[in-house]
Amino acid sequence: MRAISTLIATRTWVPALLIAGSIYGSHAIADEKNFGAQTPSVNEFVEALAQPPQPQLRFRGIKRISAAEVPVAAAIPEPTTAKVTATDESSSISMQLQFEFDSHRLTQGSKESLDNLSAALMTDGLVNFRFRIAGYTDASGGDKYNQSLSERRAESVRNYLVFRHSIDENRLDIIGLGEQELLDMDNPNSEINRRVAIMNLGE
């Protein structure tokens, strides 16, 4: 009888552990889709930033048992409801938005890209999601200066989306990362490193 109780307890815990892993697992993001200096279309933004469908967990060979049959030691507290956040399956893009020299002011070409981005954010596929805007610089300036500039550039992007296109500011987080995560490590001052990344944070 003790062996049977142990087997039931083990089979009860396994799916619970798998479910917990799916909710509280890694927060790393998938590889970015890098548009470079091109101007993505509305559809390209939607396709790149849409969250992939969440896989359904299925378990085979698990016997249904009544509550009375489950030992007290195997009782599992009800999990709290968690919103989808950045995971291994999160969608992220980067693009080389142009700013005026040594400034956070957007050029006309960058505004055209953001016009398409704002339209994408209001489509049925993206309207319910929140996003993070991350600003990056190259390595030509000092660390402190680059950090400040990247923050101001990320803020400029958010302000353009909010004030020009009425995107809800509560959907947009910003962060400045300075010269961290250079795309071209061999040429730290390359213009490819001066970019803005957008990541889908979930609902």
CATH classification at residue 49: 3.30.1330.60
Cα distances from 41 to residues 18, 35, 47, 118, 153, in angstroms, run 39, 11, 10, 11, 22
Tell me how far apart the alpha carbons of residues 131 and 111 are, in angstroms, rounded to a whole number. 18
Give the model's pLDDT for residue 157: 98
Give the model's pLDDT for residue 174: 98
Residue 95 · residue 113 · CB < 8 Å: yes
Query: Which residues span the domain enclosing 106?
Result: 27-55+84-202
pLDDT truncated to tens, each residue of the chain (203 aa)?
555 444 444 443 333 333 333 332 333 344 678 998 899 999 999 999 997 755 555 545 555 555 555 555 555 545 443 343 444 456 899 999 988 878 899 999 999 999 999 999 999 999 999 999 999 999 999 999 999 999 999 999 999 999 999 999 999 999 999 999 998 999 999 988 889 999 999 98
**Residue 66 belongs to a domain:** no
**Residue 62 belongs to a domain:** no
**Residue 7 belongs to a domain:** no
Tell me how far apart the alpha carbons of residues 17 and 46 are, in angstroms, rounded to a whole number. 34
**Residue 21 belongs to a domain:** no
**Residue 123 belongs to a domain:** yes
- Among 144, 133, 142, 146, which Cα is nearest to 175's? 133
Sign of CA dihedral 65, 23, 130, 33: negative
**Residue 79 belongs to a domain:** no
Radius of gyration of the chain (CA): 23
Cβ-based neighbour number of residue 183 at 10 Å: 17
Q: Count how many domains the chain has.
A: 1
**Where do the H-state alpha helices sit in 51-131?**
108-121
Residue 56 · residue 156 · CB < 8 Å: no
End-to-end, the C-alpha distance of the chain in Å comes to: 47
Copy the structure tokens of residue 48.
């790149």
pTM: 0.68
Give the model's pLDDT for residue 191: 87
**Residue 194 belongs to a domain:** yes
Cβ-based neighbour number of residue 120 at 10 Å: 23
Give the model's pLDDT for residue 64: 57
Cα distances from 31 to residues 38, 46, 56, 120, in angstroms, run 18, 16, 23, 20
**Residue 118 belongs to a domain:** yes
Give the model's pLDDT for residue 85: 42
Tell me how far apart the alpha carbons of residues 136 and 94 are, in angstroms, rounded to a whole number. 10
Give the model's pLDDT for residue 71: 56
